[in-house]
Structure 1
Amino acid sequence: MLEQTVKKILNAKVYDAAIETPLEPAAFLSRRMNNQILIKREDLQSVFSFKLRGAYNKMTTLTPEQLANGVICASAGNHAQGLAEAARLMNVKATIVMPKTTPDIKVANVRARGGKVVLVGDSFDEALAHAKKLETEKGLTFIHPFDDPDIIAGQGTVAREILHQHTGAPIDAVFIPVGGGGLAAGMAAYIKYLQPQIKVIAVEFEESACLAAAFKAGKRVTLDQVGIFADGIAVAQIGQHTWKILRETVDEVITVTSDEICAAVKDIFDDTRSITEPAGATSVAGMKKFVAREGWEGKTLVTISSGANTNFDRLRYVAERAEVGEHREAILSVTIPERPGAFKQFISIIGKRAVTEFNYRYADDAEAKIFVGVRISSNEERQELVQALRNADHPVLDLTDNEVAKSHIRHMVGGHAPNIQNERLYRFEFPERPGALGKFLNTLGGNWNISLFHYRNHGAAYGRVLAGIQVPGKEMKDFRAKLDDLGYPYWDESDNPVYGVFLS
């Protein structure tokens, strides 16, 4: 199978549309990590991602009749732009079905390239189903975003370029982002066929890790829920064709968090002055995690900057979370006595560390609860600070890895609600579109009182919501059934320690 895929890669017709992108040293990142880090700059393609390669290569295999009838695809954005550009270059009509949650910049770019955009559903699967329906009704040719041998071959040209561009010390590992697996399958096949000693590490966002799930199960599985922060790789099931290749060629799958991805976006910016989308920085995030775990030094490591299609307003969230993802900020809840001089003593323990935020509201005459962010240099320094505060008899709750604290509590100022009964705390992800809140309220049907509500927009395809809802115990079954009917991802945070400290 590898030989057949490699032959397709060698014969792939991509360069009438795509360019050979540079393989650039990441000077700052290399010095920090004591390794030679190289970044393959696929964000420099005309559509700002590698997807143009596979789309154009597939288009060159179609018959004149298929081209005359037109093509169609379902995509969250990057494949859509790639296919629209390929179709424009070949003077072919393209219909692009995209989820309603697709970032505006991707929709605008598809239309700018002459693609007809149809917005359907909240997820890729819904868009895919509609695209398949239109394919049958209108006689269009469906171009799959990843699970097609010609798409895989087009994406595999990235690896072909890397191996002939690099002339220094031998490459030790290549880190490849994975959604449906088209890029990873093409690259892994080429690398393992020509230089099997190079480690191929697949990197996934932890909330859409369909390849890791497939390896664990020994077969392709469909995830029950997919997080769409890294929308370019938000896929629920690895492809059938891609799985056949990846299960034989990938040495390891690493999953990364949204905070780690945000930190990687900053790393790439520091070295290239380019702002990648979250999916585009996943490879760098995985590389950093692997090196920290293995203690590698003096190695040559290749990462892929796979795309730069992100909404500008998302950068607010990325910048906010990058410090946490890089372990440069500690987020703490500290209890100090409510008396004169207590603040001064607290600040003396913080010392010369920069305070990134400080939230306080009077609660009672005995104790004060403080929510504070402190600039740190490492996890070790965070632990030292926490211990110093505890040694001074200041109880500390470390919230650095607490999602509710990072997304909501740090933006809320308030006190306790002593008269609230039967309150449960839930965290939701609302699709970022008109009517989402109305659907939430209509589904609950006025049966339960909302006692707390905080909404946080960060430029993604969904908004983060924290809600307190009064639900008597005997009604919990009916309440959860309503939440399941709603269809929005949700988490019960009633046992989260921040609830008792700041909200209850």
Structure 2
Amino acid sequence: MSLYINQQDVLDAYQRIRSHVQNSPTIKSVTLSELTETEALFKLENLQMTGSFKERGAVNKLLTLTDEEKSAGIIAASAGNHAQALAYHAQRLGISVKIVMPRYSPIVKIKSTEHWGAEVVLAGETFDDAMAHSREIVKAEGCIYMHPFDDPLIAAGQGTVGIELLESEFGKDIDAILVPVGGGGLIAGIASYIKATRPDIRVIGVEEATCDAMHQALQTGLPTLVDAAPVIADGIAVREVAPENLKVVNECVDEVVSVSSDEIANAIMLMLEIEKLVVEGAAATPLAALLNKRLPQLKGKTVVSIVSGGNIDVNLLSRIIDQGLSFDGRVARIQTVVQDRPGNLEQLLTIFRHQGANILEVHHHRLSPTAPIGQVGVTVTVETRDRAHQEEIIQGLQKNRYPIL
């Protein structure tokens, strides 16, 4: 099958863009290697100037525009990272740029895009709504549309990640590369180069389960429109993959797996806690797949996770950390009732203290519908070691006749 990008396209892109983007580091994590039972490597695309791999495809496309196209200006629809990448490199190259974003886009991504000199237009609830609006602007104003993933120059630029991986100190030892999947541009670019250069390396895609457009497309053989759903991995929240990227994935990608929002939240928290790296939801999907044994065949193998970006809203990060701690068994919210008499709340909290739990928050509910007359509801949020510790606390409460609600 003839594919719309190949090894030479990626090599050409690398020669074109190498002085415009960072050769991002690839690091090994000792702790995460132990947790995943692999030699866990991470390609840190979150360290690019605008915080994601999207710069590669954006600047590759921009550098191929004619003078006439540059003067017309460019427009794109993006949930954030493609927007920032285009805005940054367009202003460097003296090209005007307009970005259409869904209304729900993280504030950090909107502000960053504006910071780089782009005009931001908020339209619609989803990426598809934003794309439709951007197409209307193209018709009205005659500017050049820059698709975030359905473009061979964009995909070839993203594929330069694969060149850098093979040229890194770990290159000869790599057994598998795990790639976040949205519209398919990143994995199509990487896979087309890797399979032509090192066909022994497995290339595996990872999606968020509530937005698994690539998985469904592989099942049906055609791009399939999936239902929109709230996701943590907003950077890969694409409802329909690009047809040409699907062809590359069919030909060059070994497998596509999915992970849940809880698993992604836990992976984000661990990257922050262990590696001191802030990563967005999409970037955490490969680690989530390894931690939750989606790929048991990679045990003992050298595996690279593409850390695709680090642009995450601070308020969302706070909620994700809480969700990740809960998923990991390190925070629990326990509800019970106590007699409505002085000193009884203190007696309850003493049990938590004796069990070695760190009390984070206590809520006393006098109007709780679950509390009988003469009793009050109490919700205690505690920090725990793990799920076994939580069970010990619950057993201690039940032993002292405190019901768990």
2:42 maps to a residue whose letter is I
SS at 1:302's partner residue?
A: strand
CA spacing shift, 1:391–1:295, aligned 2, 3 Å: farther
Question: Considering only aligned residues, what root-mean-square deviation do their CA atoms show, in Å?
Answer: 2.9
- Native 8 Å contact 1:2 1:190 kept in 2: no
1:475 aligned residue: none
2:139 aligned residue: 136
After TM superposition, list the pairs within 5 Å mapping 1:115-134 onto structure 2. 115-134=118-137
After TM superposition, list the pairs within 5 Å mapping 1:26-425 onto structure 2. 26-167=29-170, 170-290=173-293, 294=296, 297-334=299-336, 343-344=347-348, 347=351, 351-362=355-366, 363-365=371-373, 369-382=377-390, 395-396=403-404
The TM-score with structure 1 as length reference comes to 0.71
- What does the per-residue CA deviation read over 1:74-104, in whole Å, with 9 as the maximum and x for residues that have no partner? 1111101111122222222212112222222
- Native 8 Å contact 2:5 2:192 kept in 1: no
1:90 maps to a residue whose letter is L
1:330 maps to a residue whose letter is A
1:361 maps to a residue whose letter is H
CA spacing shift, 1:373–1:297, aligned 2, 3 Å: farther
After TM superposition, give the deviation of residue 360 of structure 1 in Å. 3.7
5+ residue gaps, structure 2, are: none
1:364 maps to a residue whose letter is P
- Native 8 Å contact 1:359 1:372 kept in 2: yes
CA spacing shift, 1:331–1:60, aligned 2, 3 Å: same
After TM superposition, give the deviation of residue 149 of structure 1 in Å. 1.1
Partners in 1 of 2:103 and 2:33 — Cα distance? Answer: 39
After TM superposition, give the deviation of residue 251 of structure 1 in Å. 2.9
5+ residue gaps, structure 1, are: 398-504
1:171 maps to a residue whose letter is I
CA spacing shift, 1:218–1:354, aligned 2, 3 Å: farther
Partners in 1 of 2:397 and 2:197 — Cα distance? Answer: 55
After TM superposition, give the deviation of residue 386 of structure 1 in Å. 5.1
Q: Indicate the larger mover: 364-373 or 159-168.
A: 364-373
SS at 2:292's partner residue?
A: helix
Partners in 1 of 2:168 and 2:97 — Cα distance? Answer: 34
- Native 8 Å contact 2:286 2:305 kept in 1: yes
After TM superposition, give the deviation of residue 309 of structure 1 in Å. 1.7
SS at 1:47's partner residue?
A: coil
CA spacing shift, 1:224–1:62, aligned 2, 3 Å: same
- Native 8 Å contact 2:271 2:277 kept in 1: yes
After TM superposition, give the deviation of residue 197 of structure 1 in Å. 3.0
- What does the per-residue CA deviation read over 1:464-490, in whole Å, with 9 as the maximum and x for residues that have no partner? xxxxxxxxxxxxxxxxxxxxxxxxxxx
Q: How many residues align?
A: 396
Partners in 2 of 1:350 and 1:246 — Cα distance? Answer: 55
After TM superposition, list the pairs within 5 Å mapping 1:467-486 onto structure 2. none
After TM superposition, give the deviation of residue 389 of structure 1 in Å. 5.6
- What does the per-residue CA deviation read over 1:52-80, in whole Å, with 9 as the maximum and x for residues that have no partner? 10011112232332222121111111101
SS at 2:245's partner residue?
A: helix
After TM superposition, give the deviation of residue 106 of structure 1 in Å. 1.8
Partners in 2 of 1:3 and 1:220 — Cα distance? Answer: 16
CA spacing shift, 1:289–1:391, aligned 2, 3 Å: same
Partners in 2 of 1:163 and 1:312 — Cα distance? Answer: 34
2:379 maps to a residue whose letter is F
